[in-house]
Amino acid sequence: MKSVIFVLTAGLVLAGCRGDRNVAQAATVDSTAVDTISGPHFVPIKPVVSKVRLIAAQKRIPLTVSFAGAGPFHPGMSLAQAVVATEGDFWTSDKSIACSYFRSNRTPGVKYLFLNRRLARIEVDSGATTEAGVGVGATEDQVESAYSGRTSLTKDTFTDGYFLTASAPDDSLRKIVFELHNRRVTRYRTGIVPAIGWVEGCS
């Protein structure tokens, strides 16, 4: 087992255990991008120092969500690139790097699903809106109006809610999925096939 030492703003972090699932890379990646985090294991620890959180709150990254991603984050980017984009404020409590969720204090209400160290989808629980002006709390009619002619409705098999999926006009792999309850958006996600369609994420 190979350990990797990586310096975050909160201090020194030691890498964790190897992922127990073999998940294929979900995006075409720019071959010129350099992932500076070597080795297969990278499990940063959630920062607990209040000063770190305060600094992060003062340096929030504004996000506008689109089919291409959100702010500096886009499907296919490496974990190292995401760490750089957040100036080290990027962490996970998951022990498997094959599929794991990362968060940043600089983008509250948002989490990032990585497959084998590549970003596959971005999930929004609060805050950020799409470039079409849709966010949490929007109505089903508002979503359909914003993405006219490009939506499909499916039933959530686990709840009484629905998924309203909008497809990118020029790329069949990129989608935005809005979760609806009582005809209102409770959360949504943007990303690429197949990860964008997983109802339970990494579960």
pLDDT of residue 53: 62
- Rounded-to-integer distance, Cα 82 and Cα 69, Å: 12
DSSP 8-68: ETTEEEE--PPPSS-----S---TT----S-SS---PPPP--HHHHHHHHHT----EEETT
Identify the CA nearest to 105 among candidates 4, 6, 10, 203.
Answer: 10
Kindly indicate the confidence band of residue 3, based on its pLDDT and cuts at 50, 70 and 90. Answer: very low
Which has more pLDDT, 60 or 25? 60
What the block records as the tokens of 62 is: 């504004």
- Rounded-to-integer distance, Cα 147 and Cα 165, Å: 9
Strands in 67-140 per DSSP E:
69-70, 99-103, 110-115, 118-124, 129-130
Which has more pLDDT, 29 or 70? 70
Contacts (Cβ under 8 Å, ≥6 apart) of 149: none
pLDDT of residue 160: 75
pLDDT of residue 103: 96
- Rounded-to-integer distance, Cα 73 and Cα 30, Å: 14
